[in-house]
């Protein structure tokens, strides 16, 4: 609110990109998949409520004060350099640690949830496209239009790394309330901006494994 109010008071002629989250959709029925921008909010976490409030506030400043704001509902984006506390990056880090003999097991949470993952490099291109040719006041899903379970992801990553190992479920990694399936439609941004993801999912996973292999190699003095 401080940002958009300052832009309004100063009369700045600029475009604002407000990044929201797919978590705003909350838990949805299977018939509503893939999720489109017309679906009503149903947040089930404080984070999701905050992103919903952010979007609604932006709409007030677009409709009431004429600010040039474009909003997104961004789905899970991943890629090399992502911190190890995010789920897919955590998988990559642990797999490399296990392969190097640094840990004895790989810990996971609920691997049955399904998410729409998108390479962060494609996300940046989507944001650039929106800044250039998105429509003022509109909301856009930033997603791949494809869902993968965490079980599929970690299995694929272990195959890429050449690791034959089962993982261990840890209660501390399981959220009290979690959306079972989040898969979005990117038809709107494709139609408005001509954007679509180009980096294959397997390449993203391999790049993440390579990143952690390099990071852990440096930490071990190159061994």
- Across the chain, what does the average pLDDT equal? 94
pLDDT in tens, 96-137: 999 999 999 999 989 999 999 999 999 999 999 999 999 999
Q: What percent of the chain has pLDDT over 90?
A: 86
Is domain 13-219 in CATH 3.40.50.300, yes or no? no
Q: Which residue has the tokens 């949830």?
A: 113
Structure tokens at 121: 């490099």
pLDDT in tens, 49-76: 999 999 999 999 999 999 999 999 999 9
Query: Helices (DSSP H) in the chain: which residue ranges?
Result: 2-10, 46-65, 87-99, 120-133, 150-161, 187-193, 201-219
Enumerate the domain spans of the chain: 13-219
Give the pTM.
0.92
């Amino acid at each position: 609110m401080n940002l958009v109010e300052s832009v309004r008071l100063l009369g700045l002629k600029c475009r604002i990109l407000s990044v929201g989250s797919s978590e705003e959709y909350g838990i949805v029925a299977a018939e509503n998949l893939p999720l489109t921008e017309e679906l009503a909010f149903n947040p089930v976490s404080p984070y999701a409520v905050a992103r919903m409030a952010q979007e609604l506030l932006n709409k007030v400043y677009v409709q009431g004060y004429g600010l040039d704001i474009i909003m997104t509902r961004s789905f899970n984006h991943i890629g090399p350099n992502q911190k190890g506390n995010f789920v897919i990056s955590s998988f990559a880090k642990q797999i490399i640690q296990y392969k190097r003999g640094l840990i004895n097991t790989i810990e996971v949470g609920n691997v049955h949830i399904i998410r729409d993952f998108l390479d962060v490099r494609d996300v940046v291109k989507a944001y650039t496209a929106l800044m250039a040719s998105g429509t003022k006041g509109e909301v856009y899903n930033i997603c791949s239009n494809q869902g993968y379970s965490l079980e599929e992801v970690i299995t694929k990553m272990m195959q890429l790394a050449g690791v034959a190992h089962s993982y261990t479920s840890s209660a501390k990694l399981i959220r009290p309330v979690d959306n079972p399936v989040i898969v979005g439609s990117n038809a709107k941004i494709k139609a408005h901006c001509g954007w679509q993801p180009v980096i294959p999912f397997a390449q993203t996973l391999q790049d993440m494994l390579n990143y952690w292999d390099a990071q852990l190699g440096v930490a071990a003095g190159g061994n």
